[in-house]
Structure 1
């Protein structure tokens, strides 16, 4: 059965609320991107990804690039696997506190400009159609997929570490969780 690999981006050069709204990777993050590439390339040929998809954000694109180069493919950008949309009325400096509240609740409880439970289902729908793909995404988006597959409405289901790899299988109609990625030992992000 075709496999999908959800890879959280490597460690960014800055975090929530810093001056750079779209940071790239720091040195640790670059090493993590190379380690993710090496792990994916170590897979048996039949399980190795053939495509590379990334969130449009720089930290994901930079994490995806070593894998794409090694596979000889272009990075495909897909906004649906991007960060959780922040409500428009929220000032950027308030994003961190908004996310902390989001992490304490369920998908149906999130207050914002859109239906976040629907956003979660759209991510899953996007992934169902893919096979043999490495998808470079974000903490919340990966939680969205895992919580949906486990039929668990909590937003924060697990704490994927930077460059951790969550493995899924798809038959084109459904997704199955094979293994959650390595969890972070320390803080959320």
Structure 2
């Protein structure tokens, strides 16, 4: 189990819809080998819908009981995550500084960055075969990261938070893989269990929460989008 049980609340939010999500959706079901995303991953911005989702998140935060509102906010350094947190906090009476931590960045795809699944099969058939043989959990693309690599850096992050933010209510703004792997760590899941969970996409700006209960964090919600009514829901 990840060492986060000293926290009172842990809330994870996936960033709002990004222009990268839209680009990926546009090539799904086509014979495109590339996603067509011009920016490097760290610089991909929110779409207009993504900004609306972040504002809706902020209104949800504002409506929380005072003893549930975040006392600490940590975000991935990627633009889409930082802006999600910034826009949300501007809507809520929460006076906390946004802290950026590179351990919350999205999973590095290495040489496969910018390729569609079809593009991977055509341009790197040997890697497609390695992925099939090793499995998604342990497969590491050249120059990239496996899901277990994410677990390693997240264990480090949450260990630090346990000491620095004991008794606090922490809000994390990051990426879908970070949400999934946090659940793997906090809930002591197996490879099989987490990969089954991962089959359902994490919606943009969805909320996943754990609450302190008798010495450990217990799940409250997962991939919750109720606060996004009217703001749009995207999952790519």
Pair 1:135 & 2:177 matched = no
CA, structure 1 residues 157+176, in 2 after alignment: closer, same or farther (shift >3 Å)? farther
- Give the distance between the partners of 2:216 and 2:113, measured in 1 at CA: 36
TM-score (norm 1): 0.79
Q: Which residue number in structure 1 is paired with residue 39 of structure 2?
A: 20
Q: Distance in 2 between matches of 1:180 and 1:4?
A: 12
Q: CA deviation at 1:109?
A: 4.0
Alpha-carbon distance in structure 1 between the residues aligned to 2:212 and 2:149: 20
TM-score (norm 2): 0.65
* Alignment match, 2:57: 36
Q: 1:170 to 1:84 in 2, by over 3 A?
A: farther
State the partner residue of 1:56: 77
Are 1:77 and 2:104 matched, yes or no? no
Gaps of 5+ in 1: none
Structure with more of its chain in helix, by fraction: 2
Runs of 4+ in 1 over 6 A off after TM superposition: none
Larger Rg: 2
* C-alpha contact 1:160 1:182 (8 A) present in aligned 2: no
Q: Are 1:126 and 2:157 counterparts?
A: yes
Alignment equivalent of 2:138, drawn from 100, 108, 111: 108
Give 5+ residue unaligned stretches, structure 2. 1-6, 25-34, 121-127, 226-232
Distance 1:157 1:133, change over 3 A: farther
Deviates more, 1:110-119 or 1:24-33: 110-119
Shift of 1:7: 0.3
Counterpart position of 1:152: 190
